[in-house]
Each structure stands twice: as C-alpha cells, then as structure tokens.
C-alpha cells in the first residue's frame, strides 16, 4: 500500500541539529520541508493571525525541530510508510448465545434442564474479509448461532466439554479454510427442588450464581480443553489467620490469628490435549468426575483448613485436584479476598465490638485482595 503525502501548513524555524541537517537526513518521523515563497508581508500577516493558534500544535508535534516563535512558512510532508497488515490471529464469531435444553425421561416421569451461554469464535484463512472486503470467506455469525442451536438438538449438551468439542469440530469438518474454532460454554445453575422431602420431577431453583465452564479450542492438530468453576461464593466465620507478612512504613494492617475468610472460587483445570474428537469421547466420563471432585475439594479444603493465608490454601486445593484428576495437566485458581472489617463501637457507651468481642462487621465491596496461581505437574 503506497503512502499518500500529508501536507500541513505551519509556522516556525527549522531547529534540527546542524550535523543532521547538513547530512541531508530528516528528523525522526521523516519530514520533508519546502520553504514557501519569500513574501515578508504575507508571512507577517500569517504570523500575527495564526501564530497563537499554531504554536501549541507546533510544539506538541515537532518538538525541538520547530521553534515556539513563528518566523518562517514551511510545508511539512509526512513520508512515513503507511503499509499495514492484519494481526496473526484474526477471529470472529457469535457471542452470548443463550441455549436451554430439556431432557424428558418418560419412563421415570422426570425432566432435567440445562441452560448455558455459548460463544464461538472462528480462525482461518479469513484475512481478505478484513483487507479486501471479501466476504466469500465469511461464515456468517448468524449461521454460527444457528449451528449452536442445531448441534444442541442433535447431540448431548452435557458434559459441556463434549458439546463444545462437537460444535468446534463441526466447523473444521465443514469449512476447509477454517483452522480453529474456539468455543466457550457457561452452564448456569438450576438445582432440582425438594418438596415435602422428595425431589420434584420438573421444578428447579437457582441457588446461586455459580457456573460450570468449559473453554475448548479445536484445531487440526487436536482439541485443547479447559474446565472450570466460577462464582462459587464461600465464607467461614473463623479458621483463618494472616500474620508474619512484611511490615514497613507503608503497613497499617494488623496481624491476626482469627478472621473471617470469604472468596469467590474461580478454578480452572487444563486437560492434556486430546488428539481427536474420538479420543475425547473415550474419556468423556472424566469431565463430570473432575468437576465434582474439584468442587468438593475446594469446599472441603476451604472449610476444614485453619488457613494461614489464601496463598497456602489455594496451593493445597490445586495439589489435591491434580491428584484426583490424572488427565489434568495444570490447575489455576483466582481467589479474591472479600474483607469483613470489625466496627469499633466503643464511642457508644463503651460498647465492646473488637477482637474477641467482635460480632458486628462491615462487609466491604472493595478494594479487595486478589490472589492467583497456576500449579502444573512437574
């Protein structure tokens, strides 16, 4: 792509380094300068009329190369190369596709439901849709949305790792110019109601914002799968401590041997790459088991450990998940530390509400600590 010269009328004095100027070199940015006809009267009128307006622009854009005081008329031509190219991995697709599927067990007289939000992004030989406005390589995002629904009808949506892999593989099998499909599935929680001590056959409640997640990347080399839990909100009123940390002139936080600990568990675990969809289907039972094990491990470890720090607790969780799921290569955790501060009420009739007497706290929406780690097999 050839560059088109940009001309700008400015007032100023050429203050390039003499050595650079004598060598015929241009200052950084490559400006070519041509002196306007020597018309003192015209120059003076321009200086008076436009000097105040142009001087800040000159200073900001040409720095030491042009004086702050207008003294001569110059044309500036930007000769920089304007060639561009699309980045290494352009992708596009459909996001926020909401899907609900019901499974009816006629023999048992019960129904099960799954609600999920799906995102599907495609990669491949699609650069010309950006650079040449050539839509012949574009699978319309509306078609992607339709495919999400059709594959949900044709195949199981549980576990989400399997559904995402089937969906991604479809795009590679159907469109030769597509080299990768990135599918994200967020499963929203619907828990069967218990009525009069019995599970209800077709009624459910949402008992939290927790989600089960799957991130799948399907390429012609294999299938990468990352499973996860997000927004699992937990709290314990004791059994947590934090002391021995760095203390210096910036520190106001007191040490504590007993505190409230609350967090939103965000845990992901990355599986060893599956070479084919068939290989993934052979291990499909491992996905539900790993999710159940990971969830139980996080809850049990959180509840039972007298936590010395969030860092130590999350590392222990990660180790146990790796032990429980041999097909998992690494585990990542992100735990925000949601603070609950004691309230000093001694100003009101000497009311004691700190230390061992603390009962009323102020939950904090922010700021909060945020601790992350990834633990991999050695």
Q: So which residues are the catalytic ones?
A: 94, 141, 339
CA 84 to chain centre: 27
Q: Which residues are CB-neighbours of 326 under 8 A, at least 6 positions away?
A: none
DSSP track, 313-333: HHHHHHHHHHHH-TTEEEEEE
Helix (H, G, I), strand (E, B), or coil: what is residue 126? Answer: coil
- The 8-class DSSP code of residue 4 comes to P
Tokens of 374: 């990834």
| d(C-alpha 118, C-alpha 167), whole Å | 10
CB 160 within 8 A of CB 220: no
Distance between CA atoms of residues 372 and 378, nearest Å: 19
Closest CA relative to residue 189, chosen from 235, 154, 230: 230
Q: How far, in Å, CA of 227 to CA of 213, rounded?
A: 6
β-strand pairing of 178-188 with 211-219: antiparallel
Pick the CATH number of 91-336 from 1.10.230.10, 2.102.10.10, 3.10.270.10, 3.40.50.150: 3.10.270.10
pLDDT given at position 50: 40
Residue corresponding to tokens 């203050």: 15
The two structure tokens encoding residue 378:
């050695």
Identify whether 159 is preceded by a cis peptide bond (ω within 30 of 0).
yes
- For the chain, domain boundaries: 91-336
**DSSP letters spanning 258-325:** S--EEEEEEEEEEEPPBSSHHHHHHTTHHHHHHHHHHHHHHHHHHHHS-BS-HHHHHHHHHHHHHHH-
CA 289 from centroid of its chain's CA atoms: 26
Among residues 162, 278, 267, the alpha carbon closest in space to that of 216 is found at 162
Q: Locate tokens 């400015």: which residue?
A: 10
Q: Check: CB of residue 155 under 8 Å from CB of residue 166.
A: yes
Per-residue pLDDT of the chain (378 residues; tens, 9 = 90+): 444 433 333 333 444 444 444 444 444 443 344 444 444 444 444 344 444 444 444 334 444 444 444 434 343 434 444 455 666 689 999 999 999 999 999 999 999 999 999 999 999 999 999 999 999 999 999 999 999 999 999 999 999 999 999 999 999 999 999 999 999 999 999 999 999 999 999 999 999 999 999 999 999 999 999 999 999 999 999 999 999 999 999 999 999 999 999 999 999 999 999 999 999 999 999 999 999 999 999 999 999 999 999 999 999 999 999 999 999 999 999 999 999 999 999 999 999 999 999 999 999 999 999 999 999 998
The C-alpha atoms of residue 373 and residue 295 are separated, in whole angstroms, by 17
Between CA 349 and CA 31 the distance in angstroms is 76
What is the pLDDT at residue 41? Answer: 43
Cα dihedral sign for 150, 153, 155, 156?
positive
Between CA 343 and CA 117 the distance in angstroms is 41
Q: Is the peptide bond before 148 cis (omega within 30 degrees of 0)?
A: no
pLDDT at 84: 58
Is the distance from CB of 164 to CB of 117 less than 8 angstroms?
A: no
CA nearest to 126, candidates 116, 141, 111:
141
Determine the pLDDT at residue 378.
Answer: 85
111: its two tokens: 């129904």
pLDDT at 88: 65
User: What is the reported pLDDT for 376?
Assistant: 97
- Given this model, what pLDDT does residue 89 score? 81
Q: If you search the block for the tokens 């735990």, which residue do you land on?
A: 335
* Structure confidence at residue 144 (pLDDT): 98
Residue carrying structure tokens 């996001």: 95
Cβ atoms within 10 A of the Cβ of 215, count?
20
């Amino acid at each position: 792509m050839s560059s088109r010269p940009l001309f700008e009328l400015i007032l100023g004095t050429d203050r390039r380094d003499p050595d650079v100027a004598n060598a015929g070199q241009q200052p950084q940015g490559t400006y070519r300068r041509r002196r306007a006809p020597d018309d003192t009267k015209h120059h003076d009128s321009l200086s008076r009329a436009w000097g105040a307006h142009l001087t800040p622009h000159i200073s900001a854009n040409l720095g030491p190369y042009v004086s702050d005081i207008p003294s001569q008329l110059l044309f500036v031509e930007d000769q920089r190369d304007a060639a561009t190219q699309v980045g290494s991995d352009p992708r596009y697709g459909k996001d926020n596709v909401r899907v609900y599927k019901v499974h009816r067990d006629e023999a048992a007289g019960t129904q099960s439901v799954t609600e999920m939000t799906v995102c599907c992004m495609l990669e491949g030989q699609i650069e010309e849709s950006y650079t040449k406005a050539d839509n012949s390589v574009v699978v319309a995002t509306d078609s992607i949305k339709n495919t999400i629904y059709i594959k949900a009808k044709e195949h199981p949506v549980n576990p989400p790792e399997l559904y995402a892999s089937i969906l991604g593989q479809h795009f590679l099998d159907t469109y030769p110019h597509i080299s990768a499909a990135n599918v994200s599935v967020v499963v929203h929680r619907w828990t069967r109601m218990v009525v009069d001590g019995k599970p209800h056959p077709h009624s459910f409640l949402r008992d939290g914002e927790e989600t089960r997640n799957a991130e799948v990347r399907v390429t012609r080399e294999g299938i990468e799968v990352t499973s996860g839990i997000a927004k699992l909100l937990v709290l314990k009123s004791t059994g947590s401590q934090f002391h021995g940390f760095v203390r210096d002139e910036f520190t106001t936080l007191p040490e504590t041997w007993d505190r409230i600990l609350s967090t939103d568990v965000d845990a992901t675990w990355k599986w060893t790459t599956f070479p084919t969809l068939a290989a993934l289907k052979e291990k499909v039972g491992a996905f539900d088991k790993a999710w159940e094990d990971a969830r139980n491990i996080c809850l049990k470890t959180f509840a039972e450990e007298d936590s010395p720090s969030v860092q130590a607790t999350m590392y222990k969780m990660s180790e146990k998940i790796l032990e429980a799921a041999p097909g998992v290569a690494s585990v990542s955790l992100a735990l925000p530390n949601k603070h609950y501060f004691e309230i000093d009420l001694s100003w009101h009739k000497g009311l004691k509400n700190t230390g061992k007497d603390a009962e009323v706290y102020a939950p904090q929406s922010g700021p909060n600590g945020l601790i992350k780690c990834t633990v991999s097999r050695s």
